[in-house]
Amino acid sequence: MSAFPHLFAELDLRGTTLRNRIVSTSHHTYLASDVPNEALIAYHEARARGGAGLIITEIAAIHETALYSDKLLIATTDDCVAPYRRLAEACQARGAKVFAQLFHPGREIKESQDGLHPIAYAPSASPNERFHIMPRPMSRALIEEVVQGYGRAAAYLSEAGLDGVEVVASHGYLPAQFLSPRINRRQDDYGGDFEGRLRFLREVIAAVRAGAGERVVGLRISADELEPGGLDEAEVLAVCRALDGDGALDYFNVTVGSSAALGASVHITPPMGFAAGYTAPHGAALKAQVSRPVLVTGRINQPQVAEQILAAGQADLCGMTRALICDPEMPNKARAGQLDEIRACIACNQSCIGRAHKGFGISCLQYPESGRELEFGEIEPAARAKRVLIAGGGPAGLKAAAVAARRGHQVALYDKARQIGGQALLAQRLPGREEFGGLITNLQQELMATSARVVTGQEVTAALIAQESPDTVILATGAQPHLPEIPGVAEAHQLDAWQVIENPALVGASVVIADWRCDWVGLGLAELLAAHGCRVRLCVNGAQAGELLQLYTRNHYVGRLHSLGVEIRPYLRLYGADADTAYFQDTLSDEAVVLEEMDTLVLALGHQAESTLEQSLTAFDGELRVIGDCLVPRTAEEAVLEGLKVGSEI
């Protein structure tokens, strides 16, 4: 009997049978523009091959006023039919059903496709808090056009052979804007009371049902938008009860949050600071009110979490999108009982939504093959097996070793520490960052599935390399804290970030953190020390704390610092210190900023490449490759990707 009887039970939606309850929900991949291309098809096909029951493709604009971004799928003409048909057929051949998502953002537009300030359209001239856009109220004629656009898009996608379509009314997008009495201030038939505010969405669903025929039609909606101008749970439940009674919908897809506010938008892609499956109670609340199946999504990163939600009756389907980005084979592994082989998502947001927000194709920190299926979808055996020695057991070295060994090379990985993992072992000790150690657990599991030899507690030297006589040496020795010469710093009680993480008790009662990197380290140290009762002043050599992090992640953790009373000072460059004072320079005005009453100065000034071994290998006549932080200190994303590349190339 399966360990996941609920997860792998079939589900019928209007005559369409899903093979299980695992769903890859819609997410903007930035792999294609206008219509699906080969990269997007390969991406979704990998998840279908891996066993997902349902794949909901990313948002498709249904009207010219919905074009809020480049690399956006568009379903306004029949040009989309043939490309969508290729995508549907590729996934259906692997056993998955395929739905498409129909989208209009309304006022939730940051910039138009040409980079200029857009004209955003909404029910009323109600601005949002996040993008600072004042929208233009929609005329009745435009409302009619947009409703027709939904229906036309549904017809095109049905012609393409997709199994269903989903209307986006979540996260404060256009249909939700009509539903909210605080945003929709219209006095005509599309505003006013509950029935008036519901009219637009009802017309949209009717048009979509007409266009889709007997194919599945679903609705994605935020159970609670969690922001002052948005919909609350009672309002959403009333909407869903009414739509359930209409009979045109086949399922509800439940999430939380809104695009309209910085705090609420965090829930679009919740970082690891949120508990796994934290949205399930919202699914349960809706399921108790409607007769149609309920899909819930929100940090459901493991099959055990999904099974628990389904068994408790909190939902009928589970959106496991980032879990499938991280491990496309997760469903097959879960069904086979290979739980230790599942690469669990750690919700770091670095390579998935982090890349997408920069306009680059989606991928995964732990599994950079994701989004690069055309390049790395198949690992090619090496033409000639080589003896490969890898120095360093951090993320870069582990990935390089696993890939090289899978290709048939004879691999030996050495790490001078007793425990492999590199800086990830430090990162996981920061508050809210505990799951980051999963990166090492997962890479180590990938390596253990090969014949590679792992030696810990032994530093690689030129003599060892001469003794082993490898064909190829891969250096992945990482980095050390960068500690530049700063006038007077020796007089202060000064610690580097690594020392504080190892032993927070070394720090005094009043702490100044000099944060040059503007990433996880400064934020994490500030929270760690504030939680220990310290007075913390976080001085950032940038525009804001966490500046280099994905914005949902940054906003969540900066909010935690606000709650702890941490004083955040941006635009500050450290230039000196003495026993109880830190001296900074305002990077905009060049004026001095003096912070007194300091017990400890913590330096988070980035890292310096550990290149000692590289400099000692001038006489080595084999192939020498340098990857990760010992090439140039960056992030784990670059380290793992470079491990994949070098492991694939040698």
**DSSP codes, 116-167:** SPP--EESSS---SSS---PEEPPHHHHHHHHHHHHHHHHHHHHTT-SEEEE
Residue 9 confidence class, pLDDT cut points 50, 70, 90: very high
Structure confidence at residue 602 (pLDDT): 98
Two structure tokens written together for 477? 């020795």
The residue annotated as part of the active site, out of 121, 173, 552, 583, is 173
Structure confidence at residue 113 (pLDDT): 63
Structure confidence at residue 291 (pLDDT): 98
Residue pair 201/242 in contact by the 8 Å Cβ criterion = no
For 516-595, strand residue ranges (E) read 535-540, 567-569, 572-577, 582-586, 592-595
Which residue in this structure is represented by tokens 């009043």?
510
Is 42's pLDDT higher than 90? yes
- pLDDT tens digits, one per residue of 379-437: 899 999 999 999 999 999 999 999 999 999 999 999 999 999 999 999 999 999 999 99
| 173 catalytically annotated | yes
- pLDDT tens digits, one per residue of 120-157: 999 999 999 999 989 999 999 999 999 999 999 999 99
- pLDDT tens digits, one per residue of 606-647: 999 999 999 999 999 999 999 999 999 999 999 999 999 999
Specify the amino acid at residue 588. L
Percent of the chain with pLDDT over 70: 99
As a whole number of Å, the end-to-end CA separation of the chain is 43
Residue pair 387/472 in contact by the 8 Å Cβ criterion = yes
Is 350's pLDDT higher than 70? yes
In this prediction the pTM is 0.96
> Could you give the 3-state DSSP secondary structure of residue 311?
helix
Structure confidence at residue 228 (pLDDT): 85
Residue pair 359/353 in contact by the 8 Å Cβ criterion = no
Structure confidence at residue 496 (pLDDT): 97
Residue pair 14/312 in contact by the 8 Å Cβ criterion = no
Is 525's pLDDT higher than 60? yes
Residue 559 confidence class, pLDDT cut points 50, 70, 90: very high
Q: What are the distances in angstroms from CA 302 to CA 8, 162, 312, 355, 553?
A: 14, 27, 16, 23, 20
Residues facing 594 on adjacent strands: 583
Is 209's pLDDT higher than 70? yes
Residue pair 227/263 in contact by the 8 Å Cβ criterion = yes
Structure confidence at residue 1 (pLDDT): 57
Burial environment of residue 92 by CB neighbours within 10 A (0 to 12, 13 to 18, 19 or more): middle
CA 639, CA 355: separation in Å to the nearest integer? 15
The residues, ordered by sequence, that sit 6+ positions from 133 with a Cβ below 8 Å of its Cβ are 107, 109, 110, 117, 118, 120, 127
CA 413, CA 121: separation in Å to the nearest integer? 57
CA 648, CA 650: separation in Å to the nearest integer? 6
Specify the amino acid at residue 380. E
What does 343-379 look like in DSSP terms, one character per residue? -------TTTHHHHHTTSPP--SS-TTTT-HHHHSSP
